[in-house]
Amino acid sequence: MNRTSEGWIWGALGILIFSGSLPATRLAVISIDPWFLTAARAAIAGVIGLALLIGLRQPWPARRDYAPLAVVSLGVIVGFPLLTALALRHIDTAHSILFTGLLPLATAGFGVLRAGERPDPRFWLLALTGGGVVAGYALILQPGANLLGDGLMLAAIAICGLGYAEGGVLSRRLGGWQVICWALVLTLPVSLVAVAITRVPDWTMVGTAAWLGLGYVTLFSMLIGFMCWYRGLALGGIAAVGQMQLLQPFAALALVAVLLRERIAPGMVVAMLAVLACVIGARHLSIRSTQS
């Protein structure tokens, strides 16, 4: 099997795991504070990551790698988990998943900026159009939607795209699973303190579903998913494997409909397809820009 094919397989596994992140987060925040959830998932995954790095005798990152690792930590370990957990206190899971359709655009945009390239102006036009579709759906087709929840989701997507792009570049030097493990270790002192500060006052109030949600976002979303995803990006290329993100909203909606029994409005599917069209067009332009 060649590197590209292997990269697509690892990328697909990562996306399937990520598809369960928002539904699992929704289950967790029913009875777990979003701040504690963010700290706990990072701390537990960080301890596991540290054990893996020590057990497999991985060398320390070079000095030049610490700043990119800090960006990865800010984007995918702190920013996205916290902002989505806060957002899901105000909006339902299906509505939040609509915003993940913008994630490929955010990743591609930060990837372009990270590489210092000048994309076709139509790339930015399509990116703005995709964002406009999401905003239009939230404000016009769902006038009762919570603007705070929508704003938190937009911020989460932006910062996650930055973390994805930086991690994809860094994984070529450190390796896919090493990137997320070192990023988790970098935040471990802060996450452990945060767990102590935000601890749940009454554990008996936390239901089984919330524990399962915490377990999923800790072991799968925070660790295993990123191991697969960053390995896929390193083997198959950020631009190519990054297109697997197009499948995430649809897989996540299917999980929401089956597991959480939330209603999927037809307008939401139409809006997501429109965003998908913008993403495909923008992705094509970003690839052409990179190659030219």
Residue at 216 is within a domain: yes
Residue at 135 is within a domain: no
Q: Which of 133-137, 203-207, 222-226 has the lowest mean pLDDT?
A: 133-137
- What pLDDT sits at residue 206? 85
- What pLDDT sits at residue 127? 73
Mind listing the pLDDT tens digit for each residue in 139-154? 666 655 678 898 999 9
Question: What is the C-alpha to C-alpha distance for residues 186 and 256, in angstroms, rounded to an integer?
Answer: 33
Residue at 41 is within a domain: yes
Residue 205 has pLDDT above 70, yes or no: yes
- State pTM to two decimals: 0.81
Residue 242 has pLDDT above 80, yes or no: no
- What pLDDT sits at residue 285? 65
Its domain, for residue 229, covers 3-93+141-238+248-263
Please provide the DSSP assignment of 160-178 as one string: HHHHHHHHHHHHHHH-HHH
Helix ranges, 20-146 (H): 21-29, 34-55, 66-72, 80-87, 93-100, 103-115, 121-136
Instruction: Name which of 23, 67, 5 is nearest 248 in CA terms.
Output: 23
Residue 181 has pLDDT above 80, yes or no: yes
Residue at 122 is within a domain: no
Residue at 116 is within a domain: no
Question: What is the C-alpha to C-alpha distance for residues 200 and 33, in angstroms, rounded to an integer?
Answer: 8
Give the number of domains in the chain: 1
With 0-12 / 13-18 / 19 or more C-beta atoms within 10 angstroms meaning exposed / middle / buried, residue 286 is: buried
Q: Which of 9-18, 116-125, 170-179, 201-210 has the lowest mean pLDDT?
A: 116-125
